[in-house]
Amino acid sequence: MSEVNEKVKKVRPNRQPMPIQDAHDRIRNFNEVAIGYSEEQALLEASRCLDCKKPLCIDGCPVDVDIPGFIKLITQKEYQQAINKIKEKNNLPAICGRVCPQESQCEKLCILGKKALPVAIGRLERFVADWDLANGHNQAEKAAASGKKIAVVGSGPSGLTAAADLAKLGHEVTVMEALHIPGGVMVYGIPEFRLPKSIVQHEIKNIQNLGVKIACNQVVGKINTVDELLERGYDAVFIGTGAGLPYFMDIPGENLNGVYSANEFLTRVNLMKAYQFPQYLTPVRIGKRVAVIGAGNVAMDSARTPLRLGTEESYIVYRRSENEMPARLEEIEHAREEGVQFKLLTSPIEIIGDENGWVKGMICQQYELGEPDESGRRRPIPIKGSEYELQVDTIIMAIGQGPNPLVPQTTPDLQINSHGNIVAEENTGLTSKPGVFAGGDIVTGAATVIQAMGAGKKAANAIHKYLTEKSG
Amino acid sequence: MFKITKKKILAQSIKLIEVLAPEIATKGQAGQFVILRIDENGERIPLTLADFNRQEGTITLIYQEVGRTTAELGRLEPGDYILDLVGPLGKPSEIEKYGTVICVGGGVGVAPIYPITRALSGADNHIISIIGARSNKHLILAEEMETVSEKLYIATDDGTEGQKGFVTDILKQLIDSKMQIDLVVAIGPLVMMKAVSQLTRPYNIKTIVSLNPIMVDGTGMCGACRVAVGQETKFACVDGPEFDGHQVNWSVAEIRARMFAEEEQLAMKGCNSGGDCHCQK
Ligand SMILES: Cc1cc2nc3c(=O)[nH]c(=O)nc-3n(C[C@H](O)[C@H](O)[C@H](O)COP(=O)(O)OP(=O)(O)OC[C@H]3O[C@@H](n4cnc5c(N)ncnc54)[C@H](O)[C@@H]3O)c2cc1C
Ligand SMILES: Cc1cc2nc3c(=O)[nH]c(=O)nc-3n(C[C@H](O)[C@H](O)[C@H](O)COP(=O)(O)OP(=O)(O)OC[C@H]3O[C@@H](n4cnc5c(N)ncnc54)[C@H](O)[C@@H]3O)c2cc1C
Ligand code: SF4
Ligand code: SF4
Ligand code: FES
């Protein structure tokens, strides 16, 4: 162990900072906030990795990317090989490099983190993936055609990953997507300034190049049920329909004009490009003072977007304290730099409207933290008599999402739990229904891109095994 | 891409198109709707399935030009394409044998009431229909409604066809005549559906209305379409669009329909002035 400590001490140089657009400029545009490493920075950062014999970092990655392996290839400037190495495990590196919560995954376990700052694994992954987008040659290997057909329901990260892996194994895959563009939350939820849509499109094209067909405008359960897909010649079905059901708080005034779910607000802006209204015809109406309820990634995105649409004050209203905020650290920092104001230990109890039915304010109550609850976080307790009115004209509810019920409702023998999530085996995605697998947010509840991808990968392997055994 | 195979002008600013969409034509049922997006820059707008031809694989949409998107749709001709079309969405109407059913359609609302009336008639109900419009120039589908109803009444605001006045005037006369009414289905402008529901409530006549709030995805993902029904908030795209008219909170529905009134006017004007919309930036 002391040998490692010696090595850690010797590590030079310091962790390379991510170049970012200045906060003052960036709140006037939708361009990406983080600009990405230069080659020089990437080489310096890559040289910090100790190439550990027992790399702890890999344990933190839900899809087991060979982290020291690809970083070493960077130090040798073998970028094509580096990207190939990442892609052995991760089909969407340009996306994960940008949106993975690295501080609670791979980088959390990096040995350097014990004495200094961990290797910037995510930023290096992004560097290689961006190099690949600009210069790479993609020739993923494909097994011989198996003659098996698989339907993938939903084109979020879980569905796309399952589809890509199954196509590589020689199966014929069709992805069915309810919206008019594939990508799931990566296109309708996460904003352009964090994840440029061109990158998502590029990654999707790579998956199509593997032979995956993507059929948009297909709401499974309405146009075809899972049973009908199985009857019509699909040998297996993977369900990755996500957690797309927005929760509201059930407080008075929630149906007033000016109250959006985060999903509605972000969908209007990202998927429908309302920030370019009226060239794009979908409107979004954002007032001068916006309150976003919640403090996860969805809330940060919902609070940062209005500033770019010209709002004057943007508040995060959260009933716990700073320590409990579930968003990625980087997003919280960026939000703060951009001028988002945090009203912590605060929660609305009523929304007030004007005579035209528009929001004009919100009665807030203040909280203090009590004993830890079942989630291990300290329970917020309302303080009597602390109510006050916060003047806002737009409110965005970002308090979480539930599973989309359309598929479970129309698939009677699919077991769901009390929250409405599909019950599926963690290592295989196997559901209660033969031939039907599921993964991603529809199984776990709202989680992360990389976890959804991990679930898609495991299910792809299990589906392959199921099909081989069935025909064998 | 979805091809328009037929187009017909039904009345002033009300048009009918048939669109080739075999899967939707096979699956669609009375009471359901589709969401379409004309082109890359387009808004997603919901339109009811006014009819479907399962043999030819076409669906019929009937729409009134009220704003930018419906006006653009009005300019498309047979042979032109719509970029995106998704459906069938929403719950189908509950078609069973109720007894005597009064089907009330107002304005472009006659389009969605037609397939429901036909289905109810096919389920052995006695059908009396009441359709209305501002004037005979705006009246649609009178012949079609006649063929699926035992009796058809017409009301126009200006008396240019049928009885002068509102559809509710005729409904009131029928109620006053003490005839047995088992169900009223009413589709049309919010004010009309509200008036019908208020009229039938004291008599305890079950009344179904079809709400048309602003929608985005149509799959239950965004909550834009929320409506207040009884003590609950419902998403019209997945829980509806049909609801018990006596339970609907009409003032919430009316307010929410106006959410984007200013933007809708802006979109109509097009934008070449560089205003608040930031589009010139
Ligand atoms: C605003 C926002 C910000 C986020 N930020 C981050 C972040 O920074 N980092 C991170 O790791 N995670 C983030 N997440 C979470 C992450 O995006 C999700 O965990 C992940 O996308 C889940 O993937 P999925 O494949 O399960 O489903 P989704 O991405 O939700 O995709 C599901 C797809 O299925 C489609 N679908 C649903 N029902 C049907 C049906 N019946 N028929 C056909 N298609 C259907 C949907 O339209 C959708 O396209 C964020 C989420 C949001 C909403
Ligand atoms: C389930 C359902 C079924 C419908 N069926 C029909 C039909 O068969 N025929 C028909 O003529 N109309 C129908 N409508 C209404 C139709 O969707 C709107 O008229 C259309 O969206 C107007 O778009 P616009 O750009 O032309 O007008 P805009 O200028 O955008 O709006 C004009 C009016 O339409 C409403 N509206 C605007 N955007 C939407 C939207 N995305 N969703 C719903 N309403 C909106 C506004 O409240 C406003 O009152 C239906 C609506 C719903 C929800
Ligand atoms: S995929 Fe995510 S968790 Fe895995 S190495 Fe890359 S950034 Fe880290
Ligand atoms: S990233 Fe960190 S834990 Fe992983 S191999 Fe390099 S130094 Fe070791
Ligand atoms: S239209 Fe989005 S939930 Fe109904």
Three-state secondary structure of B210-257: ECCCCCCCCCCCCCCCEEEECCEEEEHHHHCCEEECCCECHHHHHHHH
Q: To the nearest whole number, what is the mean pLDDT of chain B?
A: 90
CA A88 to chain centre: 21
Alpha carbon distance B249, A242 (integer Å): 31
CA A42 to chain centre: 24
Residues of A in contact with B224 (CB under 8 A): 260-261, 264
Q: Which residues pair with A380 in a beta bridge?
A: A369
Q: Is pLDDT above 90 for B280?
A: no
B71 inside domain? yes
Q: Is pLDDT above 60 for B273?
A: no
Q: Give residue A304's pLDDT band: very low, low, confident or very high (50, 70, 90).
A: very high
**Residues B249-269: tens digit of each pLDDT:** 998 998 898 888 888 888 877
Report the share of chain A in percent with pLDDT over 70.
96
Q: Are residues B168 and B227 in the same domain?
A: no
Q: Are residues B139 and B128 in the same domain?
A: yes
What residue of A is the nearest CA neighbor of B252?
Answer: A255
**Maximal CA-CA distance, chain A:** 72
Pick left, alpha or beta for residue A252 (phi over 0 → left; psi -120 to 50 → alpha; otherwise beta): beta
Q: How far is B182 from chain A (nearest CA, A)?
A: 30
Q: Is A457 helix (H, G, I), strand (E, B) or coil?
A: helix
**Residues A102-118: tens digit of each pLDDT:** 988 999 999 999 888 99
**Residues A284-300: tens digit of each pLDDT:** 989 999 999 999 999 99
Alpha carbon distance B13, B71 (integer Å): 9
Name the strands in the sheet holding B45-48, side by side, starting at the edge strand that comes first in the sequence.
Answer: B45-48, B33-37, B84-89
pLDDT of res. B201: 94
Q: Are residues B197 and B104 in the same domain?
A: yes
Ligand 3 lined by A102 (C-beta under 6 Å) = yes
Q: Give residue B272's pLDDT band: very low, low, confident or very high (50, 70, 90).
A: very low
Domain boundary among B89, B112, B139: B89
Of residues A376 and B157, which shows the higher confidence score? B157
Nearest to residue A62, comparing CAs of A22, A19, A96, A17? A96
For residue A326, the CA-to-ligand 4 centroid distance in Å is 25
Q: Are residues B21 and B100 in the same domain?
A: no
B98 inside domain? yes
Q: Are residues B164 and B250 in the same domain?
A: no
Q: Is pLDDT above 50 for B278?
A: no
pLDDT of res. B274: 39
- The total of structural domains in chain B comes to 3
Residues with CB under 6 A from ligand 4: A 49-52, 55-57, 67-68, 110-112, 119, 121
DSSP 8-state symbol, B83 = S
pLDDT of res. B275: 37
Q: Are residues B201 and B222 in the same domain?
A: no
Q: What is the pLDDT averaged over residues A291-312?
A: 95
Of B221, B238, B260, the CB nearest to A263: B221
Q: Are residues B125 and B147 in the same domain?
A: yes
DSSP B130-171: EEEESSGGG---HHHHHHT-SEEEEEETTSSSSEES-HHHHH
Ligand 3 atom nearest residue A97's Cα: 7
B191 inside domain? yes
Q: Are residues B83 and B131 in the same domain?
A: no
Report the share of chain B in percent with pLDDT over 70.
96
pLDDT of res. B270: 53
Domain boundary among B192, B208, B224: B208
Nearest to residue B192, comparing CAs of B207, B175, B205, B182? B207
pLDDT of res. B279: 34
> Residue B216 and residue A264: Cβ atoms within 8 Å?
yes
The domain of B197 spans 93-208
Q: What is the pLDDT averaged over residues B174-182?
A: 91
Establish whether the linkage from the previous residue to B213 is cis, with ω within 30° of 0: no
Give me Rg for the CA atoms of chain B: 19
B280 inside domain? no
Alpha carbon distance B151, B218 (integer Å): 35
Domain boundary among B66, B89, B112: B89
Q: Are residues B203 and B104 in the same domain?
A: yes
B64 inside domain? yes
Residue B45 sits in a domain whose CATH number is 2.40.30.10
B279 inside domain? no
What residue of B is the nearest CA neighbor of A259?
Answer: B224
B130 inside domain? yes
B255 inside domain? yes
What residue of B is the nearest CA neighbor of A184?
Answer: B221
Alpha carbon distance B97, B75 (integer Å): 41
Q: Which of A64-73, A134-143, A259-268, B149-158 has the lowest mean pLDDT?
A: A134-143
Q: Are residues B126 and B143 in the same domain?
A: yes
Residue B100 sits in a domain whose CATH number is 3.40.50.80
**Residues A443-469: tens digit of each pLDDT:** 999 899 999 999 999 999 999 999 988
pLDDT of res. A470: 80
Q: Are residues B194 and B219 in the same domain?
A: no
pLDDT of res. A70: 97
pLDDT of res. A7: 56
Q: Are residues B147 and B192 in the same domain?
A: yes
**Residues A52-111: tens digit of each pLDDT:** 999 999 999 988 999 999 999 999 999 999 999 999 889 889 999 999 999 889 999 999
For ligand 5, mutation pick of B234, B237, B243 (most atoms within 8 Å of CB): B237
